[in-house]
Structure 1
């Protein structure tokens, strides 16, 4: 009985292999090309939309790009929040100034495009999921610094910030 079962299993595996092999795409002999592609007509007076060539997380913001959040003014009580206070103290220490010299010039609830929370580090891997968080922008003597956080986490200084998603993207309405 053992030989019969083995023979049937071998026959079944062979048949399955032949069936699956028949489903595989065969390479074509000549690549499909169009010698003279025709332009797509557009409506008179209308210009086609410009599509961005880079995604928000493709690289750090260009030098000189202001690090400001996308929405509204800074809440009046933001300096008193424990996480913000800690970030102000960290920035004052980093710059060698008193905390009074640190201005809060931006604060926003944001959605980060991945687990790097807008501050990827070389050689690190991050979750590829939207991450709700916060962006804090501090300024000392006209020089801005970006501090990022995930929701419920403390702020961390980010030397090479990457942009967050546009306002409302990935919004789970639990702000």
Structure 2
């Protein structure tokens, strides 16, 4: 905190106040509680930058609860490059599935075969594209793509517009 969107580093004039507000917001609105470290970097003219480091959590997904009186209105965000975007239903399901830490099995049927053939010729697919391609409902397409990510067959690239799925690159 204290770095401009354009990459300039103006710093914070009142870093103590910003830190106080940030820590209180994390404690009040983030569930389950997140683990983080907070560092201060001293700049010129008594200005500072706050560096918040949040390691990958085994308790994902973490929710932001903007209004504690309305617990159903909770949001999950993921980091995409230099911004935070609201996580799709699929990304939230993948995070929950990763917590289970178990091997995932699936049937390789017609829809999976059509998907892999499509991905052999195209760089990515979305839930809606897969639903149309395989002539299945969006719900089944979503569930299938989540399962294939959890089975380590596909990668997901979250986006604020539409998540993209690609075939996992073999190493």
**Structure 1 length-normalised TM:** 0.22
Structure whose alpha-carbon radius of gyration is higher: 1
- The structure whose RCO (Cα within 8 Å, separation 6+) is larger is 1
